[in-house]
Amino acid sequence: LARLKRPGFHRMEIQKTTWDVPHRYANLQAIGSGAYGTVCSAIDQKTKEKVAIKKLYRPFQSLIHATRAYRELRLLRHIQHENVICLLNVFTPDPTLEKFQTFYMVMPFVAQDLGHIMKTKRLSNRIVTYLFYQLLRGLKVSDLKPGNLAVNENCELKILDFGLARHTESEMTGYVVTRWYRAPEVIFNWMHYSQTVDVWSAACILAEMITGQVLFRGQDSIDQLKKILRLTGTPDSSLVQKMQSKDAQSYVRGLPPQKKKNFKEAFPGLDDGVIDLLEGMLLLDPEARLTAKQGLSHPYLAEYHDPDCEPDAEPYDDSFESLELAIGEWKSLIHMEIMTFDPDHPSMTAM
């Protein structure tokens, strides 16, 4: 075996990848992988809890990777919400900043995601309503799709992953499933977008939970837009005027005009309450679209809505998004975040 990087760590090979983790984490088993990292389940021998450990693939190979890694770590440290996954620990096996190349994030383990559940069973109306209430309650900064929503045996939902939250379609080549749930202003970069991009995604997930079918299953970006406009109709002139891209304006103006579909016909059998909610959440104009707070107040969620238990997000400092830093500077910031994290009091180190 190669020399271990830090005392107190042990090394193993998992799916042809080297993992160096503290001795407190045992029984590592690969449970998933994506373009940006691999996730293993493990037992935290200190707490006796099952956890998920995420290792990022080469977080400093490019400026985009370094910025994305910092964003994800900052968000995980900041958000303290029972419907959003929390950060239990973050560590690196590399002994110094000069040798710092990789890091791992530890989060609670949740066995199933909503995408898997929807493929294996039909959800009752009551469960759909409860899950959707939790989803709206937890909307913060995210990249929503069913695979990013963990659900336990008590139907408790947590939003899992938001490292890609600010990425446009041009940066998401190959991410077909993600596209199905993305708001049109994100896919086509029509304008600066707001938190209501998540509301659009949540509406797509709600429709899928109810019908068992993906709402907008586009084959590519253009096909995605066609499927969206069949339901919503083509953008009106006031929305086209708001589009910051002249190319987008001319493209949209050249589309054959379509009228908005009657949602009762598009979703036969659904009650008026959920139809009204979907209509408000699937508006093309992000400024007219319902906010998460307005969605929570909708009569469809009256059974669960409680303003006293729906706290607003703590102010989040995202001023770093405007910084133009080199990879080494992002690396220093991430290293500082790791060195100042206290795994015994994770909520105390949130910012």
**pLDDT tens readout for residues 31-42:** 887 667 789 999
10 assigned to some structural domain: no
259: amino acid identity, one letter? K
Domain shared by 116 and 257, yes or no: yes
Q: Which residue range is the domain that position 51 belongs to?
A: 18-109+314-342
Q: Would you list the DSSP string of 93-145?
A: S-SSSTT----EEEEE--SEEHHHHHHH-PPPHHHHHHHHHHHHHH-SS----
Is residue 16 pLDDT above 60, yes or no? yes
Residue 91: enclosing H or E segment and its boundaries? strand 89-91
With vertex at residue 203, the alpha carbon angle to CA 200 and CA 207, rounded to the nearest 5 degrees, is 145
Domain shared by 74 and 145, yes or no: no
3 assigned to some structural domain: no
Is residue 346 pLDDT above 70, yes or no? no
pTM for the full predicted model: 0.79
Catalytic residues: 143
Domain shared by 94 and 207, yes or no: no
Domain shared by 152 and 126, yes or no: yes
Domain shared by 303 and 329, yes or no: no
Domain shared by 47 and 127, yes or no: no
pLDDT-wise least confident of 61-75, 131-145, 155-169, 313-327: 155-169
- Span 136-158, mean pLDDT? 79
Q: What is the pLDDT, as a whole number, of residue 175?
A: 44
Q: What is the pLDDT, as a whole number, of residue 161?
A: 67
Domain count, the chain: 2
Is residue 173 pLDDT above 60, yes or no? no
